[in-house]
Amino acid sequence: LVREHDVGFFILADEEPTIHKKKFVQFCELMIERNLPVLWGINTRVTDILRDEALLPMYRKAGLIHVSLGTEAAAQLKLDRFNKETTIAQNKKAIQLLRDNGIVTEAQFIV
């Protein structure tokens, strides 16, 4: 698709591809190995970004440029009500880690 149809961006349609860390890392390694001129995005969880902090530079090198996070709320009371098992501080840290690695972050909220 990249070479024949000039696709420059795609979204990995897996709901939460980073849940299976080993598989996701292998995917990133293949993207780096193939050196394709394509950028891509994913949806994932705050907890996975925090877990993978040391891997974020490699994810970016693989072309990951956009992450949509299900932060869901800007108030801890609502996060607790939604059983998110994250804190506002964790949400902020995940967003900052992505930003620090040159990855655009989209925060999703429940209204």
Q: Using CA atoms, how far apart are residues 71 and 43, in angstroms rounded to an integer?
A: 11
* CA nearest neighbour of 87 among 31, 46, 44, 29: 46
Q: How confident is the model at residue 65 (pLDDT cuts 50, 70, 90)?
A: very high
Query: Global pTM?
Result: 0.88
Q: Using CA atoms, how far apart are residues 105 and 97, in angstroms rounded to an integer?
A: 10
Q: Using CA atoms, how far apart are residues 86 and 24, in angstroms rounded to an integer?
A: 22
Residue 97 has a pLDDT of 98
pLDDT, tens digit, 9 for 90 and up, residues 74-96: 878 888 787 778 888 999 999 99
Helix (H) or strand (E) holding 2: helix 2-5
pLDDT, tens digit, 9 for 90 and up, residues 13-55: 887 899 899 999 999 999 999 998 899 999 999 999 999 999 9
As a whole number, mean pLDDT of residues 57-75 equals 92
**Largest Cα–Cα distance in the chain?**
50
Could you give the number of structural domains in the chain? 1
Domain containing 28: what range? 2-109
